[in-house]
Amino acid sequence: MSQKRNDHFRIARERMVESQIAARGIHDPRLLEAMKKVPRHLFVDEALWDQAYGDSPLPIGHGQTISQPYIVARMTQELGLQGHEKVLEIGTGSGYQTAILAELAARVYSVERITALLPRAKKVLDELGYHNILIKLDDGTWGWKEHAPYDAIIVTAGTPSIPNPLIKQLNDPGIMVVPVGDEYSQTLTKIVKHDGKIDTIYMEGVRFVKLIGDHGWRA
Ligand code: SAH
The average pLDDT across 38-61 equals 98
Q: For the segment 89-143, what is each residue's pLDDT rounded down to a tens digit?
A: 999 999 999 999 999 999 999 999 999 999 999 999 999 999 999 999 999 999 9
Q: How confident is the model at residue 161 (pLDDT cuts 50, 70, 90)?
A: very high
Is the CATH number of domain 57-206 3.90.1560.10? no
Q: For the segment 164-208, what is each residue's pLDDT rounded down to a tens digit?
A: 999 999 999 999 999 999 999 999 999 999 999 999 999 999 999
Residue nearest to atom 26 of ligand 1 (CA): 91
Active site residue 67: yes
- Look up the pTM and report it: 0.98
Ligand 1 atom with the shortest distance to the CA of 212: 19
Ligand 1 atom with the shortest distance to the CA of 98: 1
Residue nearest to atom 16 of ligand 1 (CA): 91
C-alpha atoms less than 13 angstroms from C-alpha of 199 in its C-beta half-sphere = 7
- What is the Å distance from ligand 1's center to 140 Cα? 9
- What is the Å distance from ligand 1's center to 155 Cα? 8
**Residue ranges of domains in the chain:** 57-206
The average pLDDT across 151-161 equals 98
The average pLDDT across 5-33 equals 97
Q: How confident is the model at residue 2 (pLDDT cuts 50, 70, 90)?
A: confident
DSSP of the chain: --HHHHHHHHHHHHHHIIIIIGGGT---HHHHHHHHHS-GGGGS-GGGGGGTTSSS-EEEETTEEEPPHHHHHHHHHHHT--SS-EEEEE--TTSHHHHHHHHHSSEEEEEES-GGGHHHHHHHHHHTT--SEEEEES-GGG--GGG--EEEEEE-SBBSS--HHHHHHEEEEEEEEEEEE-SS-EEEEEEEEETTEEEEEEEEEE---B-BSTTSB--
Which one of the listed residues 2, 56, 67, 94 is annotated catalytic? Answer: 67
* Residues within 6 Å of ligand 1 by CB: 60, 64-67, 90-91, 93-94, 96-97, 111-114, 117, 139-141, 156-157, 209, 211-213, 216
Residue nearest to atom 7 of ligand 1 (CA): 66
The average pLDDT across 7-20 equals 97
Q: What is the pLDDT of residue 1?
A: 61
The average pLDDT across 13-36 equals 98
Residue nearest to atom 18 of ligand 1 (CA): 211
